[in-house]
Structure 1
Amino acid sequence: MDQPKHRPYIGPEIKLPEVTVKAFFLGALLSVILSAANAYLGLFAGMTVSASIPAAVLSMAILRIFKNHNILENNIVQTAASAGESLAAGVIFTFPALVLMGYWTEFNYLETVLIALCGGVLGVLFTIPLRSALIVKQNLQFPEGVATSEVLKTGEKGGGAVKYLLWGGIAGALAKFMEAGFKLWHGVFESATLAGNRLYAYFGMNLSPALIAVGYIVGIRIASLVFIGGVISWWLAIPLYVAFVGAPEGDAVGIGGAIWSGQIRYLGVGAMVVGGLWALINLRGAISMAVKSGMDALKKGGAGVNQLRTEMDAPMSWVIIAIGAMIVPVFIIYIREIEQVGITALMSILMVIAGFLFSAVAGYMAGLVGSSNNPISGVTIATILTSALILLALLGSGAEKGPAAAILIGAVVCCAAAIAGDNMQDLKAGHILGATPQSQQIMQMVGVTAAALVLPLVLQLLNTAYGFGPATEAQPDALAAPQATLMESVARGVFSGDLPWTMVYIGAALGVVIILLDKFQESRGSDFRIPVLAVAVGLYLPFELDSAIMLGGIIAWAVGRYKRQQPNWSEETENESGPGLLFASGLITGEALIGIFLAIPVAIYGSGDIMALLESPLPSVIGLAVVLGICAWLYSIGKKELE
């Protein structure tokens, strides 16, 4: 269905400066900062969120310093900044797996930059034909894109709105510094019981304001679905496993973690593979439309003489040449790992096809549910599992580099899909505002490049300071890196033959059941839908993360309930961004940046206790009180309107 015709905020006949020198450098700088913050968040929490709105607010606040600036210039800055932030998701979901499997001892700077850059650029290129198909011709919501355009329209309020970002940043930074820097309290509030080696119960919550902020941003629906996934894993599957198989040795908390790590989290793999395939089936019409739009644009040879400024994409001939150019460095890297030209060529082709298909899926899902809820993990797991099985058939189980090759293929696809989903939101915002798509596509490249050059350094710093994967005596503050840990296990498990396929099959069956429930909800006309990938995320996240995200979702629900009771409430304002979203974004950014800052002395001195004020931390209930205080502050700010 075509979208109704609308008049852009800035008409196509009006030409305003967009890609200016100050916009170029500010966009690149914000891309670096927000990508670093999102990298930390994703490694810690297993989820990332869109940075388009905080980037837009920061852009407005900074550009107000200059005499000449305009709304399209602000839009260009946030476009570059959010491109870097989304690339971080693709990088941290895959590259740490190479370190976890011992293939890399440290992050190879040049290879990491090249793969991240090629994947990110391919994501931008794939969105060029998708833009017309998904934004102009289909009536999709693109919630963050619409919200970003509304924030930019209220640009005169940028000075007032930025204070909520700053307050949140300070609160998140202080809480993180007291917990991880001064070591005043334990970072997790948890308890578990094992009775008779057959009855098991567990509850835990990570005392992280950033996690609660994630739940607030994604909302009660997605937060509750993630929590349901955690309930299935930790309150049903693990107790059942203990009841029928028995419990390993260890304390009650450690027993649950061991069972989840070795068996139960693979339920999420099965559910994610089913979810990724289901997304492809559902979106076959949109994908074919995108392919047709791209071919039509290629036949026309670029922009027509009378084409409106607001519909000018980068010429398709350039896009095709650029895609071919991006394959070359990826092919060179792959052949170093696989060492067989024919197989390398096959895998490069698979990478391009999977990259385009899953970019289309990510772009379409961003239009439906927003880029913060995008199925990046699902499509990457599906890619890595498929690649590993193909490589296993071609190379045999003795191929030492097989798992690493599968991860490297998945890394390019993951970066492309992550970029595609977020960039479609920015192109939607530009479509509403009257931006020039070609200018946005140029700045998306700038944001990707800036982030790709910095992210390997951030990853190396975090790995040296904290390490990735389950916490150990040597690395007590290790970042969980849930997606990377899972993908490493899948790639290696295919070749070693010890992948717990029973759990994968049960997870796949569970995914089918969830899809059927979702279709039932659709047939009833219910607003509460059950996307399988949201539940799958909860299945493979530690419960302490699921519960903290759920708490944030409850706060968002309470804020929404309060606002709906106000006399000036309307459906049009239901999804508008407000101070609560900005405060939550600040919580995430502040905590993440402090986490990166604290990694520096840890990396230098090899200890996380350099700044510890106490010999042993206080009970975690102290941290719980602090976090609940921040929750109350978030609720009170969420009830406000932008001044």
Structure 2
Amino acid sequence: MDQSPTKPDVSAPNASPERSLPEITVRAVLLGAALSVILGAANVYLGLKAGMTVAASIPAAVVSMGLLRIFRRPSILENNIVQTAASAGESLAAGVLFTLPALLILGVWKRFDYWSTTAIAALGGIIGVLFTVPLRRALVLGSELRFPEGVATAEVLRVGELSAGRQAAEGKGASTGLWTLVAGSLAGGLYKLGEAGLRLFGDVAGVSVHAGRTVWSAALGLAPALVGVGYIVGFNIAVLVFLGGAANWFVAIPIVGWLQGTDVAADPYKIARGLWSAQTRYIGVGAMVVGGLWALVRMWGNLVAGLAAGLQAIRDRRRGRQDALPREQRDMPVTWLAGALVACVGPMFFIFRLILPEASPALVLFMCLAMLVAAFVFSAVASYMAGLVGSSNNPISGVTIATILSVALLLMAVGTSAAVGPGAAILIGAVVCCAAAIGGDNMQDLKTGLLVGATPWKQQIMQMVGVLAGAVVMAPVLTVLLEAYGIGTITVEGQTPLEAPQATLMASVARGVFHRELPWAMVGIGAVAAVAVIVLDLVLERRKSEFRTPVLAVAVGLYLPLYLGSALLVGGLIAWAGGRYWRGRIARQVDVRLRASLAEAQQDAQRRGLLLAAGLITGEALLGIALAVPIWLCEGRNPLDVGLQAIPVWPGLILLAGVAIWLFRAGTRKE
């Protein structure tokens, strides 16, 4: 029951193997690096303040198209190269801010050391690119993963290419597609301006009540971008993410609240949120650990095939058959990959030793080995989840928690003391988090490249360029924010510190393992639940069911707040309803020619719906980044806030209903 509207035609990319278009140019490198710096810096503040970052591939593609048109007309591949490098800054920001502030919270650091921070970010990001090179064939070519933002970015690039007159024969379609994309972007941007800028309405509608000894809470995210992501990933994934969230918020939280008892005088939402944050969220962590290992088992064959293809490419090159593979299938050579990986490991040994001087050389070597294994495993997991739910909803913090949890247990097993262990676990987690964040982003970009006919190895090189550019600004931005506001438990007099929720959680996990304070029962429940979902999926696979239950989709839902999963469900239901509408129309038509005409109209309508969904994501992402600038300049104060005493949610509900109707009509209207 595949109800996703996104079945892209990968057989007809914009740039064919025979068509020579510029990709890596001087202006593309400079613009990509500059955007990586800007987007990375802006997202550091957003992440520390709100606990989330804004995916930058789509905004970067839009900005790139606008800026490059000032010069000689650029190619779609050149624009793709720019967004590949630019999006690395945002992803790297997530990897850094989710982990390195934990070193301050634990007392390992007193300030952000520039060279150590830069090296961890740069080397971790590069390792993420290197480890995902052999995964491209397994995940992008050898699976049915959607990679929603990768598909959306490709659509943005294609519409921009057509609107520039590159394909005159498709001029009318390009104009219509561009209008749909722009209209969606305006809607998403205006929503973000009203919600986060002017503060006219809230972004979550919810109800929370006391129910005897416990609490019950439900919530719906109102952001059009989330609905757009749900539309792109389709009904199957959207409903699984929602069911994971529903199992946590409607079952686990009430049960834990009933067992422990709750304060009837307290705010029921704060109680539910506290139970989720401190306890039941770890059900998702346990499910992610098992689901991640299962994902590796399932894609092992494709992974081996990818590595074999890389080795075959080396043999072909030595025999003078370097053109054996078409241009759009050539990855970075395995020899380059191995050499770069070795070059990354040596510096990490000295960085770990510098930050933890009390750790023995043997322990530091063990940390490096654990880092490599964890970076490969969780880069693969993050890449897989990016294909499921997109980069915006990819729970990198959950992946990092699983990393820190795993390596902390390993460190305990080899006798590491509680004085050194938490810091060592955070350092390993920091490298892995950067690698996983970049890995997921790299895979989205490679999906975009596949759809527009780009050269994979050139994208992989430019991803590294973006990593290096973004890494140099991480420490200065973190230092400014630390000294201006404080971060986590590090406070500044007269200022409200930036919460850094993920870093605070990482510090709690690392400390909790060595002091035996973690809710292991919840982790175990999540692991058992994951096994049950895997068994169900195997049964459905054996019965050749179109509806499947990939375990990581459920694990994501268990880990994320319910409002995210509920908003994705809205988008998935719209996609399902649109598909049902078209199947009904086609089934009722007896004339063969009219049936073929309706099938073609269905493809056009679903493409229109995809463009509108991409626009909703684009507009919110662009405004989310733009709104960070005045807040940053005003030292954390929002100068656009109109100052309402009580922020209503009903305007957001009305807007959400309007967007849902609009998206359904876009995907079902025949032109």
Bin of the TM-score, shorter chain as denominator length: 0.7 to 0.9
Which amino acid in the other structure matches residue 226 of structure 1?
A: V
Match of 1:356 in 2: 376
Give the secondary structure class of the aligned counterpart of 1:236.
helix
Alpha-carbon distance between aligned partners in 2 of 1:415 and 1:235, rounded to the nearest angstrom: 33
CA deviations on 1:327-366 (whole Å, 9 max, x unpaired) are 2332222113333211111111221233234434555666
Pair 490,117 (structure 1): closer, same or farther in 2 beyond 3 Å: same
Alpha-carbon distance between aligned partners in 2 of 1:85 and 1:263, rounded to the nearest angstrom: 29
Q: Do the aligned residues in 2 keep the contact of 1:190 with 1:204 (CA within 8 Å)?
A: yes
Alpha-carbon distance between aligned partners in 1 of 2:27 and 2:253, rounded to the nearest angstrom: 54
Larger deviation, residues 401-410 vs 271-280? 401-410
Alpha-carbon distance between aligned partners in 2 of 1:303 and 1:426, rounded to the nearest angstrom: 31
Match of 2:544 in 1: 525
Which amino acid in the other structure matches residue 410 of structure 2?
A: I
Q: Do the aligned residues in 2 keep the contact of 1:221 with 1:553 (CA within 8 Å)?
A: yes
Pair 19,6 (structure 1): closer, same or farther in 2 beyond 3 Å: same
Larger deviation, residues 222-231 vs 265-274? 222-231
Q: Do the aligned residues in 2 keep the contact of 1:287 with 1:360 (CA within 8 Å)?
A: no
* 1:534 and 2:553 correspond: yes
Match of 1:344 in 2: 364
* 1:126 and 2:126 correspond: no
Give the secondary structure class of the aligned counterpart of 1:201.
strand
Q: CA deviation at 1:501?
A: 1.0
Residue of 643, 646, 653 corresponding to 1:617: 646
Match of 1:67 in 2: 72
Match of 1:278 in 2: 294
Q: Do the aligned residues in 1 keep the contact of 2:605 with 2:669 (CA within 8 Å)?
A: no
Q: Do the aligned residues in 1 keep the contact of 2:214 with 2:262 (CA within 8 Å)?
A: no
Q: Do the aligned residues in 1 keep the contact of 2:46 with 2:628 (CA within 8 Å)?
A: no
Alpha-carbon distance between aligned partners in 1 of 2:495 and 2:236, rounded to the nearest angstrom: 35
Match of 2:248 in 1: 233
Which amino acid in the other structure matches residue 324 of structure 1?
A: V
Write out aligned runs for 1:54-93 (5 A): 55-93=60-98
Write out aligned runs for 1:85-164 (5 A): 85-98=90-103, 101=106, 103=108, 107-131=112-136, 138=142, 143=147, 152-153=157-158, 155-157=161-163, 160=175
Q: Do the aligned residues in 2 keep the contact of 1:40 with 1:596 (CA within 8 Å)?
A: yes
Which amino acid in the other structure matches residue 584 of structure 1?
A: L
Alpha-carbon distance between aligned partners in 1 of 2:292 and 2:397, rounded to the nearest angstrom: 9
Q: Do the aligned residues in 2 keep the contact of 1:31 with 1:82 (CA within 8 Å)?
A: yes
Larger deviation, residues 326-335 vs 428-437? 428-437
CA deviations on 1:387-419 (whole Å, 9 max, x unpaired) are 1112223354522x4223212212222322333
Alpha-carbon distance between aligned partners in 1 of 2:140 and 2:565, rounded to the nearest angstrom: 33
Pair 132,241 (structure 1): closer, same or farther in 2 beyond 3 Å: closer
CA deviations on 1:38-59 (whole Å, 9 max, x unpaired) are 6677778877786545544554
Alpha-carbon distance between aligned partners in 2 of 1:323 and 1:367, rounded to the nearest angstrom: 25
Which amino acid in the other structure matches residue 130 of structure 2?
A: L
Alpha-carbon distance between aligned partners in 1 of 2:533 and 2:134, rounded to the nearest angstrom: 32
CA deviations on 1:179-220 (whole Å, 9 max, x unpaired) are 445444555433322244x25322234554444444444443
Q: CA deviation at 1:30?
A: 3.9
Q: Do the aligned residues in 2 keep the contact of 1:395 with 1:402 (CA within 8 Å)?
A: no
Q: Do the aligned residues in 2 keep the contact of 1:376 with 1:418 (CA within 8 Å)?
A: yes
Q: CA deviation at 1:512?
A: 1.3
Q: CA deviation at 1:85?
A: 4.2
Q: Do the aligned residues in 2 keep the contact of 1:167 with 1:586 (CA within 8 Å)?
A: no
Pair 260,447 (structure 1): closer, same or farther in 2 beyond 3 Å: same
Pair 370,577 (structure 1): closer, same or farther in 2 beyond 3 Å: farther
Match of 1:386 in 2: 406
Structure 2: gaps of 5 or more residues? 1-8, 165-173, 586-597
Which amino acid in the other structure matches residue 547 of structure 2?
A: F
Give the secondary structure class of the aligned counterpart of 2:635.
helix
Residue of 567, 571, 578 corresponding to 2:610: 578
- Taking only the aligned residue pairs, the percentage that are identical comes to 49
Alpha-carbon distance between aligned partners in 2 of 1:139 and 1:263, rounded to the nearest angstrom: 34
Q: Do the aligned residues in 2 keep the contact of 1:218 with 1:373 (CA within 8 Å)?
A: no
* 1:318 and 2:350 correspond: no
Pair 19,222 (structure 1): closer, same or farther in 2 beyond 3 Å: same
Q: CA deviation at 1:18?
A: 1.8
Alpha-carbon distance between aligned partners in 2 of 1:444 and 1:67, rounded to the nearest angstrom: 24
Q: CA deviation at 1:170?
A: 4.8
* 1:451 and 2:470 correspond: yes
Larger deviation, residues 39-48 vs 155-164? 39-48
CA deviations on 1:417-469 (whole Å, 9 max, x unpaired) are 33334324434554565543332232222222233334555666777669669
What count of residue pairs does the alignment treat as equivalent? Answer: 629
Q: Do the aligned residues in 2 keep the contact of 1:280 with 1:361 (CA within 8 Å)?
A: yes
Write out aligned runs for 1:149-548 (5 A): 152-153=157-158, 155-157=161-163, 160=175, 167-168=183-184, 170-185=186-201, 188-196=204-212, 198-248=213-263, 250-295=266-311, 304-307=320-323, 310=327, 312-338=330-356, 339-363=359-383, 376=396, 379-399=399-419, 401-431=420-450, 433-456=452-475, 481=501, 484-548=503-567
Alpha-carbon distance between aligned partners in 2 of 1:128 and 1:523, rounded to the nearest angstrom: 31
Pair 594,128 (structure 1): closer, same or farther in 2 beyond 3 Å: closer
CA deviations on 1:206-254 (whole Å, 9 max, x unpaired) are 5544444444444433332222222112211122123233114623222
Which amino acid in the other structure matches residue 410 of structure 1?
A: G
Which amino acid in the other structure matches residue 222 of structure 1?
A: I
Normalising by structure 1, we get a TM-score of 0.82
Structure 1: gaps of 5 or more residues? none
Give the secondary structure class of the aligned counterpart of 2:74.
coil
Alpha-carbon distance between aligned partners in 2 of 1:487 and 1:343, rounded to the nearest angstrom: 21
Larger deviation, residues 574-583 vs 406-415? 574-583
Q: Do the aligned residues in 2 keep the contact of 1:56 with 1:78 (CA within 8 Å)?
A: yes
Alpha-carbon distance between aligned partners in 2 of 1:445 and 1:340, rounded to the nearest angstrom: 32
Q: CA deviation at 1:583?
A: 1.8
- After superposition, the CA RMSD in angstroms is 4.2
CA deviations on 1:549-579 (whole Å, 9 max, x unpaired) are 4344444545555666673345798578732
Which amino acid in the other structure matches residue 622 of structure 2?
A: G
Q: Do the aligned residues in 2 keep the contact of 1:465 with 1:600 (CA within 8 Å)?
A: no
Alpha-carbon distance between aligned partners in 2 of 1:576 and 1:416, rounded to the nearest angstrom: 35
Q: Do the aligned residues in 2 keep the contact of 1:132 with 1:293 (CA within 8 Å)?
A: no
Give the secondary structure class of the aligned counterpart of 2:544.
coil
Give the secondary structure class of the aligned counterpart of 2:205.
strand
Pair 8,591 (structure 1): closer, same or farther in 2 beyond 3 Å: closer
Pair 577,5 (structure 1): closer, same or farther in 2 beyond 3 Å: closer
Give the secondary structure class of the aligned counterpart of 1:200.
strand
